[in-house]
Amino acid sequence: MERLFETHQIRRSRECAPLWTLTTLDEGGLPRPEKVVVPGVWESHPLLRRYRGRGVYEQTLRLGGHVRIALGGVSFRARVFLDGALLASHYGAYTGFEAIALNQPEGEHTLRIEADNRFDADSALHIPNDYYAYGGINRPVIVEEVGDVYLVRCQVSTRQTAAGWTAQAEVTVRNLSSRLFRGALRLQIAGREAEAEITVPGQGLSVCPLTLPCGEVDPWSPGHPALYPVTATLLENGAPVDDLIDRVGFREIRAEGKRLLLNGRPLRLLGFNRHEEYGSFGLSAPLEAMVQDVQLLRSLGANCVRTAHYPNDPRFLDLCDEAGLLVWEESHVRGFSEAQMRHPRFMEQLLQCTREMVEQHFNHPSIFVWGSLNECADDTAWGADCYRKIFALLRRMDPGRPVTAALLERPGGQVYDAPDLISINLYPQWYHDTPVREALDRKLREIARGGGAGKPVLVSEIGAGAIYGCHDPFGEAKWSEERQCAILKDQIASVLAHPDVCGLFLWQFADVRVAEEWAPSRPRTFNNKGVLDEYRRPKMAFRVVRELFRAAAREGGAG
């Protein structure tokens, strides 16, 4: 399932069977085609641990009529074919896309999906990085039969007024036929209902706004994550022809002075950066592992998680909605220099991936901030302009959420005036010996001078490494679990004691595999700063952080 609840009662929708035939096309691949599981990454196959190339997935399935194939994520580029005909191409591993085939005869058809995780000159965002660029179909593939007109998406924002809560929806409808469609749209939330007439031009799209006063509903918060189903139904001549079911939580989030407010109450953020990766399953963690990660985050006393450095599987976001874990979601780009940001396709590809993230994850109440451009060249005019363009897009698409970017510790930033929430990545005591408070104060002074005075500030990354099972009785050696504990203790205590910081995200939740190009500074070819290893075995730091986070939450941190 692509989500954790039924998304249609009218539309015929099903997930493809799990076994697909995988053929590899490049050197270092499989000697012959093999059956593999989808969703999955090919690196989980013992022969493909380091395969970087193209893979062709095939499956035969029965279908007919207008077919919509929804792909949750293919790494890194994809092409989708039905019976040999190209239906769609897509760039970016971490957002979904659709492929449409019209008027298919009822019967057996061959679906072929090509995935390609090579780094190439045409790809601006996908480079050897401090995490692994897996290959394959990493999220579910859904096959649907739709009519001439179908619902593309339904985005809902919630607002508190004197008369109670209001839901504002924008429903997008697509017409596959060439004739004008006239019909109606019905929206149901929290026992309330609204209906509006709609027309959709032939082979076109219409966006229909609908407002629904919902009165006294249970608001969503970390302590009380109340969720409500939203049903959008498309009607033709009064009869339902298509539907979309999603969930919303009623909440408002905004920056006010140096604080972030959720439904008017200040947030104190205690969280983790988490890569979407699990042991030998890589980027395509099974649902059980996602559930366990949410349980581990909760038991650590965290109230938030950052999806470093790309949009996550909607099922993980569903789990966060249910658990009341606040989410910082960001679009995919990490650590780019100005030269990399000057790649001719950089802006176009980043805008596309950012737009898809917001469109697809808009309704998750747990997402409290949108981010992008982690540690890029905010210290040059060119880089700063890229930040401003992305912030502008995020604000235009979603005026209801603050925007941010995790900025580097080094001085010279030129965008402190631009985000609603200023976020900084600091590694004192790990990459350099400056006392934590001194490093933090230095950066805060620079932010204030650079146009960020009076805004909320968050430490988006801070942390230290340890190799699971590596011990030093003296507690001094870097990479020992003891030294990681000592550094994290100091970092957490110093950040939380600072009156001008509204919280922190530790780097990081669990160890992650990195690109081989990073091996010289990354023992095991892993980023080892997790408080758990990649199989979720806790390091000594797990208990240390749990005690500190729980104590901070008791003092009013958990929201």
What is the contact mask toward ligand ADA in residues 470 to 509, using x (rule: CB under 6 A)?
A: -------------------------------------x--
CA 451 to chain centre: 29
Give the nearest distance from C-beta 370 to ligand ADA in angstroms: 17
Closest approach of Cβ 487 to ligand ADA, in Å?
13
Q: Is residue 443 within the footprint of ligand ADA (CB under 6 A)?
A: no
Phi-psi region for residue 121, left (φ > 0), alpha (ψ -120 to 50) or beta? alpha
Whether cis (ω within 30° of 0) applies to the bond prior to 39 is: yes
Q: Closer to ligand ADA by CB, 54 or 334: give it.
A: 334
If one asks whether residue 277 binds ligand ADA (CB under 6 A), the answer comes out as no
Looking at the Cβ atoms of 215 and 411, the one nearer to ligand ADA is 411
CB of 109 to ligand ADA, least distance (A): 42
Please spell the DSSP secondary structure of 106-171, one letter per residue. Answer: EEEEEEEEEEE----TT-SS--S-SS----EE-S-EEEEEE-SEEEEEEEEEEEEETTEEEEEEEE
Say how many residues touch ligand ADA, by CB under 6 A: 9
Residue 84 Cβ vs ligand ADA, minimum distance, rounded to whole Å = 41
* Closer to ligand ADA by Cβ: residue 250 or 526: 526
Q: Does the protein bind ligand ADA through residue 528 (CB under 6 A)?
A: no
Minimum distance of ligand ADA from residue 374's CB (angstroms): 5
Site string for ligand ADA, 453-472 (x = CB under 6 A): --------x-----------
Of 130, 277, 356, 481, the one binding ligand ADA by CB under 6 A: 130
Q: Looking at beta carbons only, is 189 or 426 nearer to ligand ADA? A: 426
Pair 37, 275: CB distance under 8 Å: no
For 401-404, the CB contacts below 8 A with 24+ separation are 401/253, 401/367, 401/368, 401/369, 401/370, 402/253, 402/254, 402/255, 402/260, 402/368, 402/369, 402/370, 403/369, 403/370, 403/371, 404/328, 404/369, 404/370, 404/371, 404/458, 404/460
- Which CB sits closer to ligand ADA, 40 or 463? 463
Q: Which of 39, 104, 40, 22 is nearest to 68 (CA)?
A: 104
Amino acid at site 430 = W
State the residue for tokens 């892993």: 526
432 DSSP β-pair partners: 428
94 binds ligand ADA (CB under 6 A): no
Q: Does 375 bind ligand ADA (CB under 6 A)?
A: yes
Cβ closest to ligand ADA, residue 130 vs residue 481:
130
**String of contacts with ligand ADA for each residue 329-368, x by CB under 6 A:** -----x----------------------------------
In angstroms, what is the minimal distance from the CB of 461 to ligand ADA?
5
- Does 429 bind ligand ADA (CB under 6 A)? Our answer is no
CA dist 293 and 161 (Å) reads 36
| Burial zone of 266 (CB within 10 Å; 0-12 exposed, 13-18 middle, 19+ buried) | middle
Q: Which of 310, 529, 545, 558 binds ligand ADA (CB under 6 A)?
A: 529
Q: Which residue is nearest to ligand ADA (CB)?
A: 130
Structure tokens at 99: 């492929």
| CA distances, 224 to each of 205, 361, 401, 558 (Å) | 37, 21, 20, 11
Helix (H, G, I), strand (E, B) or coil at 477: coil
Q: How far is the CB of 147 from ligand ADA (least distance, A)?
A: 45
Nearest CB to ligand ADA, comparing residues 130 and 276: 130
| Residue 527 binds ligand ADA, judged by CB under 6 A | yes
By CB under 6 A, residue 425 contacts ligand ADA: yes
Q: Does position 97 bind ligand ADA by CB under 6 A? A: no
Token pair for 525: 């070819």
Q: Which lies closer to ligand ADA via its Cβ, residue 93 or residue 113?
A: 93
Cis peptide bond upstream of 508, omega within 30: yes
- Roughly what angle, to the nearest 10 degrees, separates helices 481-496 and 436-447? 40
Among 155, 221, 374, 414, binds ligand ADA (CB under 6 A): 374
Q: What angle do CA 282, 286, 288 make, to 5 degrees?
A: 130
Asked if 534 is part of the footprint of ligand ADA (rule: CB under 6 A), the reply reads no
Q: How far is the CB of 410 from ligand ADA (least distance, A)?
A: 11
Which residue, 356, 139, 183, 169, is CA-closest to 246?
A: 169
Which positions lie near ligand ADA, rule CB under 6 A? 130, 334, 374-375, 425, 461, 507, 527, 529
